[in-house]
Amino acid sequence: MISLPRTAERYRSPPPTTHHTRPHARSPPRLPLFCASALLLFATRSTTIRIPRMGFTVLAVRQISRCWRSGLVFLLAVGMAVSCHENAPAPPPDQAATTDSPRSPFPTLPAGVILQTSHRATRAEREAIENKLKGTINDLTNSHLVVHGSPIQVNIIHAEDALAASAIHESLLAIKPAPFCLRDGLTIVEYVGQHVDEPLAIKTSYELGYLHKPKRIRYRITAQLATIDTADYMACNRLSNQFLTANAAPKGSTSKEIGELAARFTFSKSLALRSPTLAPTLSNYQFEPTDDNRTLDAARVVVTFPGTSVRHGVPFVTTTAEVTVEDTGLSQPGVTPGPELTSPTSAWPSQSVDIRSLAHQITRGSSTNVGKAQAILDWLTPGKNIHYSGQTGSRWGTLKVIHQKFGHCWDFSDCFVTLCRAAGVPSRQVAGWLYGSSGHVWAEYYTDDNRWQQVDPTGGGPVECGIYHIPLFATEDGEMPIVYLAMPTIKVIADR
């Protein structure tokens, strides 16, 4: 890992002009690197857990790349070389950074990617690192970004020539394999962070243009899903978190908490997933224990089981799903929606006088489904009328969210569907996983050319549904209980 002291040239981004799917993550403290390396050594000997900050999320077990452990000696050496500069006086003019004023290393960034801070190395600092990496460096920056809500440090090295680029890349590959280290011509990119796993590194390379971003991906997702009949939706995320805590520390005292939360649910021997016919290519679902019946409707397939596995009194099945997504976010046409897709439900009170008045106000001047949906997305831009805050994984209910003016992704999705239906736009809810991030809830509406278009209300429109939104669940009436008993595993099995 390459880290620069505070004396390096510093760029701090202005407040973003667009809103994204998560609140900004705080930049990590800039400790001298030899201290940080010692902390990392300690961290790799323990199991820790974090709670992602996006909508319907569950605890993510920290995935420490094995390359970090093998690279600690290198980290210590480089850290000692540069951290001694931490409290030194400013370098003389001939040793200052090559630029006259701080500038962003990323002139443009796509929606959902936020630059927080960036540090450019001085000549002296570059020379210290050149000795370790065995190649001449023309420019070096450390930048802290947030990519779709997940923090990541991006170190960018611009080598003097191809020979230097090859030497630097080989030096870094010895301690950090792809996709955490890659080369693009004379540029070498390294990804760093406590919670940076392979999906986040790949996604960052797609978004920054270092890897070709595919138009279609087929994922394989393996998840342990509770079979639920009725749910206290405010407890779904908390129950998932308790299971993940129990998995990390099985001898802990989580059984009592799981039992108390589970009492707020009724369980069954069935599971509802998104219809396999809605994906660009047919989705494939397999289960353990095996199922004995599948009932398909327009949005869902309801799968029943003769028996289930049980953990801490909660029944579940292990689900392996292969799902294809495209960059358009379009679903297959399927059945033409009937009047029930613009009708109110207990979750989506589109008949409310206040809701109808608000929907009319938001969509005034729009006569098409697309125009109305875009107007509602714009109104839902986080921080504009409703703030992205409060209890993680909340589902307060549409009326309460609009009144209190805050919520998380399930709340934004509920508001979108309710307002769309009040405006006469057929709509329904979708949930699943955001690749490289966490669990998530979004929505889809019926377009004027008879297609279902997935949209992400939490992003307010600029963050489009595409190859990262992996749909596993759908509902046309608002009932969609989701509880994970373990962290899902997600693999890319095909792309183009």
Q: For the segment 428-446, what is each residue's pLDDT rounded down to a tens digit? A: 999 999 999 899 999 999 9
Indicate if the alpha-carbon torsion angle 107, 112, 116, 118 is positive or negative: negative
The Cα–Cα gap between 478 and 343 comes to 11
How many CB atoms sit inside 10 A of residue 108's CB? Answer: 7
Could you give the C-alpha distances from 28 to 32, 117, 139, 194, in angstroms and in order?
12, 11, 23, 10
How many CB atoms sit inside 10 A of residue 353's CB? Answer: 7
Q: For the segment 209-246, what is each residue's pLDDT rounded down to a tens digit? A: 999 999 999 999 999 999 999 999 999 999 999 999 99
Q: For the segment 144-177, what is each residue's pLDDT rounded down to a tens digit? A: 999 998 999 999 999 999 999 999 999 999 999 9
Q: For the segment 181-197, what is each residue's pLDDT rounded down to a tens digit? A: 999 999 999 999 988 99
- The share of the chain scoring above pLDDT 90, in percent, equals 72
The Cα–Cα gap between 489 and 198 comes to 12
Q: For the segment 396-411, what is each residue's pLDDT rounded down to a tens digit? A: 999 999 999 999 999 9
pLDDT at 252: 62
Asked if residue 427 lies in contact with residue 421, where contact means CB atoms within 8 angstroms, the answer is yes
pLDDT at 465: 95
- SS3 of 120-141: ECCHHHHHHHHHHHCCCEEEEE
Q: For the segment 368-384, what is each residue's pLDDT rounded down to a tens digit? A: 999 999 999 999 999 99
Asked if residue 177 lies in contact with residue 216, where contact means CB atoms within 8 angstroms, the answer is no
pLDDT at 60: 38
Average pLDDT over residues 249-265: 86
Could you tell me the pLDDT band of residue 3, with boundaries at 50, 70 and 90? low
pLDDT at 251: 66
CATH topology of domain 218-495: C8orf32 fold (3.10.620)
Angle between helices 254-262 and 236-248 (to 10 degrees): 160
Could you tell me the pLDDT band of residue 114, with boundaries at 50, 70 and 90? very high
- Name which of 17, 44, 55, 23 is nearest 438 in CA terms: 55
Could you give the C-alpha distances from 302 to 76, 295, 315, in angstroms and in order?
54, 5, 16
Domain with CATH 3.10.620.30 in the chain: 218-495
Question: What is the token pair recorded at 54?
Answer: 């996006």
β pairing state of 406-407 and 387-388: parallel
